Amino acid sequence: MGGAIARGLVKGSVFKAADIICTACSAETLEKMRAVSPDFTLTHDNKAAARAADIIILAVKPWRIEEVTEEIRSSLDFNRHVIVSVAAGITFDQLHTFLTKNMECDGITPSPVVFRIMPNTAIAVSSSMTFVSARNASPEQTKLIVDMFNESGNAMLIEERLMGAGTALASCGIAFALRYIRAAVEGGVELGFYPKEAQEIVAHTVKGAVELLLANKSNPEAEIDKVTTPGGITIKGLNEMELSGFTSSVIRGLKACK
């Protein structure tokens, strides 16, 4: 995920590769980043990277966040640093506790600027639906982080309480959309197409449906109405799918993974 974010950032206009420092445990991962851009600064030294950066993106597994924040804490300057966590399920309260451990002075704990972001796997092709939540951030800092992730697809600012719902809809949602595609491909084979042809047909049909919605800013039902001739075959197909629980299955699946 960290690599995908860096790849997205260099394609955009907010940062240049020379502005980006990548850290990892293995030389192999850093070599992969070297292949993306020779201008990245690559290091295994998280503390030095944190000291040199203004924005620190924590993109390790959730159970590693505490250990990494412990490692870089002495390098943090909360007047300057903006911390961005990609870790799923690690809350602002937890991040605050990890970042400010033993930093209480005269009963006052510092208030670091922290963002939580939740991209999906389509960030690898700059088409992520990314959620952003902010704590202690100014409007300018928030705009910068939203702009950063708009360059890798589409970014939306939400309250932290909606992160779980956003994850279900957009991160798990990629799998749900793909499962529809798989089902339609299997149906296409039954109707007489070879699997490769069926996949090409379904992928482009779904892409067309999405582009219609985005271009027309319309409601899905309005686009469906344009296809459903009274007494025609589309409405017969839709009604058959609904009889098998199509809409309720999708809603139940979304609610189950929240």
Ligand X SMILES: NC(=O)c1ccc[n+]([C@@H]2O[C@H](COP(=O)([O-])OP(=O)(O)OC[C@H]3O[C@@H](n4cnc5c(N)ncnc54)[C@H](OP(=O)(O)O)[C@@H]3O)[C@@H](O)[C@H]2O)c1
10 Å Cβ neighbour count for 163?
Answer: 20
Given the complex with ligand X, which of 86 and 198 has the nearer CB atom?
86
- State the nearest-atom distance from the C-beta of 244 to ligand X, in Å: 30
- State the nearest-atom distance from the C-beta of 142 to ligand X, in Å: 19
Q: Which residue has the tokens 């510092």?
A: 110
- State the nearest-atom distance from the C-beta of 209 to ligand X, in Å: 24
- State the nearest-atom distance from the C-beta of 257 to ligand X, in Å: 13
Rounded Cα–Cα distance for residues 149 and 146 (Å): 5
Question: Are 56 and 84 a contacting pair, CB within 8 Å?
Answer: yes
Maximum CA pair distance of the chain?
Answer: 75
Rounded Cα–Cα distance for residues 201 and 184 (Å): 10
Strand partners, 130: 155
Given the complex with ligand X, which of 25 and 210 has the nearer CB atom?
25
The shares of helix, strand and coil residues in the chain, as percent rounded to the nearest 5, are 60, 15, 25
- State the nearest-atom distance from the C-beta of 150 to ligand X, in Å: 17
Given the complex with ligand X, which of 112 and 119 has the nearer CB atom?
119
What is the binding site for ligand X (CB under 6 A)? 1-2, 23-26, 29, 46, 59-62, 64, 68, 86-88, 118-119, 121, 171
Given the complex with ligand X, which of 56 and 198 has the nearer CB atom?
56
Given the complex with ligand X, which of 49 and 82 has the nearer CB atom?
49
